[in-house]
Amino acid sequence: MSRPTLVIVGAGLAGAKAAEAARDAGFDGRVVLVGDEAGPPYERPPLSKAVLRGEADADSTRVHTESFYTEQDIELVTDRVTAIHTGERHVELADGGTLTFDRAIITTGAAPRRLPVPGAELDGVRYLRNIGDSLALHDAIRAADRVAVVGAGWIGSEVAASAREMGADVVLIAPQAVPLQNVLGARAGEVFRRLHAEHGVHLRLGVHVRELRGVHAVREVVLDDGTAEAADLVIAGIGVTPRTDLAGAAGLRVDDGILVDHHLATDVPGIYAAGDVANAWHPHYRRHVRVEHWANALHQGAAAGRNAAGLRETYDRMPYFFSDQYDLGMEYVGRGAADDEVVVRGDLDAREFVAFWRRDGVVTAAMNVNVWDVADDLAAIVAAGRPVDAERLGDEGLPLAELAASGTR
């Protein structure tokens, strides 16, 4: 009998962890990890921080050591998958080859959204997604007279902070009134607005980009209020789109990502999806949830690998994010709404606090800012899904561990 083959389409963090976990779970067949970037899989969070600032090199971002894949008998194939044939159980490669599979995991990630405005094709307009982008942006920021960052979500905020720490003149442009407003809401987002302002970032918030102007290279960003901001480097961080083209063409169900169940399985037996591209049924939320962050790729990829190896593991981890900007470090767990009630324990002005988001008394999300070793307690409070009094949440004398243990009024 021939050995079964597991093909993993996408060699980012989720794909690498899927391969590792499949081996750890006892899969003794052939494991092939296919990615369209040269070099072994790497982690993306440093790309907007340490690598961008020149404080870490590309090798430091690798998921595994150079020898890991040989030792684990995992084949790394550098090529682009052009088609997945679910019936014939094989994938086509750009070089004309094919790979037959018994089981497959799709971890194709996401692609940056492009600026939909005139002038977006000018030289000097950049995006950040891969290691090459980060290294090139480091040099571009050093050479720029003025940097405009469009978008004040996680990536835009981190890039703006890194560029300022590199000494660049930075303007941050976004349609929201405060950075991260869509996730954190106005009150917590104000903390980040003040943070960037205090570090010298020029803030143009509450406005949209109308067009980019320049002859061959960008020279200014024109806003919808009629004003313009000079910039010879524009970095767009306006979100990402899951890379579902292959899955959709293969007949898999797609809706803001590849639809998978709580085992990360598609509706085609033996085919799974994980990471940024997966819109997975979450038992806590009782709906499909797609999460774009390192922790999700790390843990979801591993769960998909174990399930492809024959286990039936339910993926029910709470969504988790982290960010570092200047001297502020934060962790966020759960999935709140921007208009949820916010309860704070600690000092917003000192940027040392824990915040809770509540809806109908139930904690939907929590965030610790420059307060450490509390993430597990916060995750337990959110996962309990039960009402908690605002007074108890805000009481600094009440240990978070006690709240986590009770999860009640």
Residue-wise pLDDT for 324-366, tens only, equals 999 999 999 999 999 999 999 999 999 999 999 999 999 999 9
Boundaries of CATH 3.30.390.30 in the chain? 327-406
Residue 151 CB-half CA count within 13 A: 21
Helix, strand, coil distribution of the chain in percent, nearest 5: 30, 30, 40
List the beta strands (DSSP E) in 10-102: 30-35, 74-78, 81-85, 90-93, 98-100
Boundaries of CATH 3.50.50.60 in the chain? 5-111+240-308, 114-236
- Rounded to an integer, the average pLDDT of 388-399 is 96
Cβ proximity of 168 and 138 under 8 Å: no
CATH architecture for residues 327-406: 2-Layer Sandwich (3.30)
- Rounded to an integer, the average pLDDT of 262-266 is 98
- Rounded to an integer, the average pLDDT of 284-313 is 97
**406 falls in which pLDDT band (50, 70, 90)?**
confident
Structure tokens that stand for 288 in this block: 């499909």
For domain 114-236, give the CATH number.
3.50.50.60
**DSSP letter string, 170-238:** EEEEESSSSTTHHHHHHHHHHHHHHHHHHTT-EEEES--EEEEE-SSB--EEEETTS-EEE-SEEEE--
Backbone angles phi and psi of 400, in degrees to 5: -60, -35
Structure tokens that stand for 82 in this block: 């052009």
**DSSP letter string, 361-394:** TEEEEEEEES--S-HHHHHHHHHH--B--HHHHH
Report field, pTM of the whole predicted structure over 0.95: yes
For domain 5-111+240-308, give the CATH number.
3.50.50.60
Between 405 and 351, the more confident residue is: 351
Which residues are CB-neighbours of 343 under 8 A, at least 6 positions away? 355, 356, 358, 390, 393, 394
Given a cut of 80, whether residue 408 has pLDDT beyond it is no
Backbone angles phi and psi of 160, in degrees to 5: -60, -45
- Rounded to an integer, the average pLDDT of 143-164 is 98
User: In the beta sheet, which residues pair with residue 52?
Assistant: none
